[in-house]
Chain A
Amino acid sequence: MQPEYKSKYNTHVIRIVLVLAVVAVVGVTVRSMVIPESFGKYGHYRADAIKDEVNRPIRNGTNAACLSCHPYIREMHLEGIHRTVSCEFCHGPVADHVKDGKVVAKLPKKQGEEIKTLCLRCHNKIIRARPKEAIKMISMPEHLEQKHVRTDHNCNQCHNVHSPMMWVLEARAIVGVEEESK
C-alpha cells in the first residue's frame, strides 16, 4: 500500500482562489468602465447612439423654408418649370444663412459662367445618358445660333433662372413674336 500523501499546507489553493478573485474583480470593473451605460438596451449597441444621430443638425432646409422669407422669388420660382429645382442646390444650405432665427450670412448668388455651368448640369444635350422624358435638353452653342443671339451670351440673359420662360413669354406678349419651329 502506498502511503497517502496529504499536504498540510493549502496555501497554493488559497493563492489560486485569490488570483481568480482578483481577476474577476478587475474584469468586472474594467467591463463596467468600458461598456457604456445604455449598451445592450435594445441590441448589441449603445442605445444612446440613436439619440446622437437624431440630434445631428439639419443643414438643408427645404424650398418651403427659403421661400417663406423670399416672397418675390417665391412668386417667380413656383410659377415656372424650375419649381422643382432646389434653392439650396445653387445657393448653399439654409443653415449657413439663418441660425436661431437670425440671418447670420448671405448665401452666394451665382454669376456669369457659373450660371451657365449650373444650367448645363441638367440641360446639356451632349450628355446622352439623360432621359428625354425627364428634361428638355439643348446643345450649345447651336441653341444660341438658332435664336440669333451672340454665342457669348449667358443663359440668364434670356432666361430668368427661377422661371426660365418668364421673360421669353413676356417679350413674346409685348412684341407679338412667334416662336420659331424648333
Chain B
Amino acid sequence: MMDAIQSEISRDRRAFIKKVLGGTIAGSLLLVIPAGAMDVPEQIPGMREQEGPFIKGKKFVFIVDITRCIGCGSCCVADKNEYQVPDGNYRTWVERYVIDDHDNVYVDSPNGGLDGYQKPRTDIPHPVRDTFFVPKLCNMCEKPSCVQVCPVGATYQTKDGFVLIDQKRCVACSYCVQACPYSVRFINPKTKTADKCTWCYHRVRKGLLPACVNVCPVQARKFGDVNDRNSEVYKILHQPHVVSVLKPGMGNKPSLHYVGLRREVV
C-alpha cells in the first residue's frame, strides 16, 4: 500500500534533483518548486526512508510551551491554510487566560486566535495575577475515547499512535465529538464528517513538521520523536521540568504535553 507512495516520493526526489542540477547550470531563476513539497528538505530525519503502512521505531509527541507562546496565531493561520478549514471551525486554536488576584479565571479565544489578539481584556475588575496563552489541539490520546465510541470504525488509531478519521466512512453521528474530553472535534460543514487536528499526519509521513510547528516564530510548539535521545522533545520530557497533560484524570493518556501549564487550565 505504502509502496506506491514511496515510489512516488523517490520519483519526485529524482525529478527534483534533476531540476536542481538543471537550475545550477542554467541559473537559479530556473529552479522550479513543485507544490508536492517532496523537494523541501526533510525536517524529520529518516521519515522518507520509512516503508510499510506504519511509522516504525519512532514515537511522536507534541509539546506546547506555554512560557513561550505569544498568542500571535500564526499556528491557527497555517492550520486553516493547510486544511482549508471552514470559517467558525478550528482544528487548533489559542486561548487567552487571565487570572486575577481573587483567583477568578477568565478565558477567551476570539475567532480561535485566528486574527491574533489585538485588544486587551478590559472587563477584569481586579488586578491581574497571571496571564498567558494556551494553544489547543488534538491530544492524540494513547487511549482515545473518540475511537471507542465510533459505531462504524471511521475514527481509528494507527499502530504508530495517530488518531485519524476515515472521511469516507464517517456518518457524522457526532458521538466522537461528544466523547472527546478536550473538545477538539467538530462536524466539518463542507465534508459533512467529523474533523479534527491530525498532527499533520500527511506532512509527517513525508518528513515535514506539522504546519503549526513550522510557523511558530518562538518555538512554542515542538514535535518530535521521543525514542530519539537527541531530540528536543526527549530532552524536555526527561528534564526536571514541570511538564503536564490536560485532564489527566480522564485516563485518555494524551501524547500532547504542556510546559508551564497552570492548574487553572482545563
- Cα A97 to Cα B184 in complex, Å, equals 30
Q: Note all chain B residues with C-beta closer than 8 A to A94.
A: 33, 35, 37
From B68, B73, B82, B120, give the contact of A128 (CB < 8 A).
Answer: B120
Count residues on chain B whose CB falls below 8 Å from chain A CBs. 71
In the assembled complex, the CB of B72 is this many whole angstroms from the nearest CB of chain A, namely 5
A151 on the B face (CB < 8 A)? no
**Residue of chain A at shortest CB distance from B38:** A58
- CB contact under 8 A between A128 and B128, given known A53-B201, A84-B218: yes
For window 107-143 of A, CB contacts with B under 8 Å fall at 117, 120-122, 124, 126-131, 133-135
- Cα A71 to Cα B37 in complex, Å, equals 18
B167 on the A face (CB < 8 A)? yes
Q: Note all chain B residues with C-beta closer than 8 A to A102.
A: 32
Decide: B202 and A56 in contact? CB cutoff 8 A.
yes
B133 on the A face (CB < 8 A)? yes
Q: Note all chain B residues with C-beta closer than 8 A to A95.
A: 35
| Interface 1/0 per residue, B75-92 and A, CB below 8 Å | 001100111100000000
Q: Note all chain A residues with C-beta closer than 8 A to B118.
A: 117, 120-121, 124, 127
Binds B, one of A9-17, A62-70, A159-167: A62-70
Q: Note all chain B residues with C-beta closer than 8 A to A135.
A: 70, 218
In the assembled complex, the CB of A102 is this many whole angstroms from the nearest CB of chain B, namely 7
**Residue of chain A at shortest CB distance from B37:** A58
A44 on the B face (CB < 8 A)? yes
Q: Note all chain A residues with C-beta closer than 8 A to B214.
A: 60, 62-63, 86
Decide: A49 and B71 in contact? CB cutoff 8 A.
no
B196 on the A face (CB < 8 A)? no
B168 on the A face (CB < 8 A)? yes
- Cα A89 to Cα B215 in complex, Å, equals 7
From B78, B167, B205, give the contact of A89 (CB < 8 A).
Answer: B78
Q: Note all chain B residues with C-beta closer than 8 A to A88.
A: 78, 81, 215
B117 on the A face (CB < 8 A)? yes
Decide: A84 and B166 in contact? CB cutoff 8 A.
no
From A45, A51, A62, give the contact of B1 (CB < 8 A).
Answer: A51
| Interface 1/0 per residue, A19-55 and B, CB below 8 Å | 0000000000000000010010011111111111111
**Interface-central residue, A60, A94, A131, by most chain B CB under 10 Å:** A60
**Interface-central residue, B31, B40, B198, by most chain A CB under 10 Å:** B40
| Interface 1/0 per residue, B21-62 and A, CB below 8 Å | 000000010011111110111010000000001100000000
From A47, A100, A120, A129, give the contact of B133 (CB < 8 A).
Answer: A129
Decide: A129 and B117 in contact? CB cutoff 8 A.
yes
**Interface-central residue, A84, A120, A122, by most chain B CB under 10 Å:** A122
**Residue of chain B at shortest CB distance from A44:** B153
Q: Note all chain A residues with C-beta closer than 8 A to B83.
A: 59
- Cα A68 to Cα B31 in complex, Å, equals 8
Q: Note all chain B residues with C-beta closer than 8 A to A45.
A: 153-156, 166, 169
Decide: A54 and B81 in contact? CB cutoff 8 A.
no
| Interface 1/0 per residue, B204-237 and A, CB below 8 Å | 0110110100110111100000000000000000
**Interface-central residue, B33, B54, B153, by most chain A CB under 10 Å:** B33
Q: Note all chain A residues with C-beta closer than 8 A to B205.
A: 54
A98 on the B face (CB < 8 A)? yes
- Cα A104 to Cα B76 in complex, Å, equals 25
Which 5 pairs show the lowest CB-CB distances between chains A and B? A45-B156, A121-B116, A86-B215, A49-B166, A101-B32
Beyond the given A45-B155, A59-B81, could you list 17 further A-B residue pairs with CB under 8 A, ordered by the A residue number?
A: A42-B159, A49-B166, A49-B169, A52-B168, A55-B202, A60-B81, A61-B33, A68-B33, A86-B78, A89-B78, A101-B35, A128-B120, A128-B128, A129-B71, A130-B71, A133-B67, A134-B218
List, sorted by A's number, 23 A–B pairs whose CB atoms are closer than 8 Å.
Answer: A44-B156, A46-B153, A58-B35, A60-B78, A60-B215, A61-B35, A62-B37, A64-B41, A84-B218, A84-B219, A86-B215, A92-B81, A93-B82, A98-B34, A99-B35, A101-B19, A101-B33, A117-B116, A120-B118, A122-B72, A129-B98, A134-B69, A135-B70
